[in-house]
Amino acid sequence: MRSTNWLRCGVPHPCAHFAHGWVHRAKRDLLLLSVISLVAPAASFAQSVPATKPATTPSKQAPPAQPAINNNIIVLDPAHGGEDTGAHIGQLNEKDINMQLATRLRSLLQARTFDVKLLRDGDPTPAPTADQRAGAANQMHAAVCIVLHSSATGEGVHIYTSALKAASETGSSAIVRWDRAQTSYIQQSMRLSDKLSEALTRSRMATSNGRTFVAPLDALQCPAILIELGPIHGGNTLPSDTGYQQTVADAIAGTLLQWREDAKAVVKQ
């Protein structure tokens, strides 16, 4: 067979095309291996580093919720007791007059389906302290707490609310001490004081409203007022008078009955 010089005649050798394709594939595979060698360590590193969580804005802690109030519970606190006799009024001690009024008022309120709690019943010795009275009253989650006092001086019925600043005046984020818990109820207490004053005025009873710092009023966690009976009729009728006490008790009971009805109306809205 005649031999042919492929290069001399300018025609490529048949194996040249095959060799050229093989070289091209080899270069491609080599490039692919290089890329894999670079990507694999990076992927491995990415898996080893924990994902960063998106930053979150810390939420503000809500103020503690106020205790649930039972609109049927009324707490009465006949002030003093035991060795603490209070003022001397005529032939009686203040602690006894306060207990008389509390007993009379309890009967009227129970007749109106209120659940009445007394912070002292009788004359225990020793009498509960102001802190103990406040603690007991706050555990009852009452609709209203009334502190009862009487006096040998002054004229008529004196109604007091706590002189503490309302929470709205101090800022809702302020930390409230336990013995200043009344700050959250000042406005409600003042409304109750005004309503009772109106009821007593309709009964033609001399009445005055004021504000004072006094235990346990400042530490109570519900609308709370202090009622002090002074002499009337120019000092001729003392707080121990049964007719006087009955008039005051009727006005208080009527006011609390309306207070409960108003609270029910608010809930229905």
Q: Are 42 and 154 part of one and the same domain?
A: no
Q: Are 217 and 258 part of one and the same domain?
A: yes
Q: What is the pLDDT of residue 58?
A: 42
Q: Are 30 and 138 part of one and the same domain?
A: no
Number of domains in the chain: 2
Q: DSSP states of 188-236 as a string? A: HHHHHHHHHHHHHHHTT--EEEEEE--TTGGG-SS-EEEEEE--BTTTT
Q: Are 96 and 16 part of one and the same domain?
A: no
Q: Which of 105, 148, 99, 102 is nearest to 124 (CA)?
A: 99
Q: Are 171 and 127 part of one and the same domain?
A: yes
Q: What is the pLDDT of residue 264?
A: 83
pLDDT digits (tens, 9 = 90+) for 22-76: 345 545 554 444 544 444 444 443 444 444 444 444 444 444 455 677 899 999 9
Q: Are 239 and 114 part of one and the same domain?
A: yes
Domain of 30 in residue numbering reads as 11-48
Q: What residue ranges in 22-89 does DSSP mark as E strands? A: 70-78, 88-89
Question: In which band, very low, low, confident or very high, does the pLDDT at 263 lie, cut at 50, 70 and 90?
Answer: confident
Which of 21-30, 88-97, 138-147 bottoms out in mean pLDDT, i.e. has the lowest?
21-30
